[in-house]
A and B are shown apart, each in its own frame.
Chain A
Amino acid sequence: MWVSVLGVRVSGDHFNLTRYGGLIMEKWPNNRAWLLVLPVFVIVAFSAIIPLMTVINYSVQDIFGPGQSVFVGTEWFGQMLGNERLHDALWRQFLFSGLVLLIEMPLGILIALAMPKKGWGVPASLVTIALPLLIPWNTIGTIWIIFTRPDIGLFGYGMNKLLGIPFDHTATSLDAWITVMLMEVWHWTPLVALLAYAGLRAIPEAYYQAARIDGASAWSTFLYIQLPKMRGVLTIAFLLRFMDSFLIYAEPFVLTGGGPGNATTFLSIYLVKIALLQFDLGPGGAFSLIYFVIVLLFSFIFYQALQRVGKGGTV
């Protein structure tokens, strides 16, 4: 084993050169500790790896029932990759996740900035803001169905009867999208706000004092002190919101069922339609693997970004 110090090869047995801190030498980690992870590995094998291998098996066969299956090779992959409805669902999914991030990140930061810094207002606002996060996802769908109904719902009745703007999420695609986005923003912006608030509270008072002495405006205080100091928590918020919105199922399924037409059919809703409602296990398996690989790629990219933020030393 060798390590390179300033380009010179140096042999040594138990040293590891970290590239980030210059010439910091540290002991080689003892890999025997991984044996302690074995129980978790066994659980993961049963809960994730064996089902994943089963999905791989499904994806290359036409399955009629127990013990009746025909090997079809990559036919389902070809069919799914060329499937227009899957393409539509995928773009819809990216549009949805993009909008979610565009709205929820700035809104969450704004809410965090507006929250009180001390006194009784802190616990009061924290509890109020956290409330939507405590409601079960299916219930959230049901709440918004009732809320937006044109005949009895507060929002739907207000739009239709009081403002005279026709609004029905079961009839027009745009209304369905607006309702789903409103629901998503109402449900998950609190998470971004809470994380951003935690990041804000962690900034030492000295930074603000220095900013005041320099006569910095509120905007430049935000831009040069608060935002950089919040980078770590905001990256975590970004990751969580992207992954959650990319895998969203329960709320839009309860609210719109993917309709009207296919207007709000996101990837997981379409997947369940193929695999469970039509019982096409083969195409469903191929679809699952495509979905899985997309999620895996984004998780990996974001994980690397997160690692980099950690090493950058902010927060």
Chain B
Amino acid sequence: MDFTLKWMVWTVPTAIFCGSIIIIVLAMAVWQTVSPSLERKGFLPIPTTPGDRFFMGVLTSAYIFFAWVGLTQFPLWILLLIVVCWVLVVMIWG
């Protein structure tokens, strides 16, 4: 048996990407257990929990990424800043 995960052809950027999402989800699960949060209404049209807001933030970020890569030639690190800010905004005020 080959347990080396070579078949998954990992790269450093994708490992960081998947790793950070997994870590954030796990951290939010722990946070939710320690101090449970309520559904609330922010600027988003529906009442949301922190998990909903994270999901919506990441999903919309995917569309921002597609627009960025598909329509512009700007460097990706600017996109990363924008996306992180966007997810934070959704998480805090969404």
Contact = CB atoms under 8 A, between A and B. Distances in A.
- The size bracket of the interface on B is 20 to 34
B8 A57 contact: yes
Interface residues of A, number: 33
Contact of A1 (B6, B33, B35): B35
Contact of A61 (B6, B11, B18, B37): B11
B9 interface: yes
A296 B66 CA distance: 15
B35 to A, nearest CB: 7
Contacts of B47: 19
Contact of B70 (A19, A58, A77): A77
B76 interface: yes
Contact of A54 (B8, B41, B62): B8
A300 B59 contact: yes
Contacts of B11: 57, 60-61, 71
A240 to B, nearest CB: 22
B17 interface: yes
B56 to A, nearest CB: 8
B39 A81 contact: no
Contacts of A297: 59, 63
Contact of A31 (B36, B62, B66, B76): B36
Contacts of A31: 32-33, 36
Contact of B18 (A16, A56, A71): A56
Interface in B60-76: 62-63, 65-66, 69-70, 76
A293 B63 CA distance: 8
A175 to B, nearest CB: 34
B14 A60 contact: yes
B12 to A, nearest CB: 9
Contacts of B9: 54, 57-58, 61, 63, 69
Contacts of A39: none
A53 B8 contact: yes
Contacts of A300: 55-56, 59
Interface of B: 6-11, 13-14, 17-18, 32-33, 35-39, 41, 46-47, 55-56, 59, 62-63, 65-66, 69-70, 76
Given A54-B8, A57-B8, A293-B63, 7 more contacts: A17-B38, A28-B36, A53-B18, A57-B11, A74-B76, A78-B69, A289-B62
Interface of A: 1, 3, 16-17, 19, 28, 31, 50, 53-54, 56-58, 60-61, 63, 66-67, 69, 71, 73-74, 77-78, 81-82, 289-290, 293, 296-297, 300, 304
Top 5 A-B pairs, shortest CB-CB distance: A81-B70, A293-B62, A77-B69, A54-B8, A74-B69
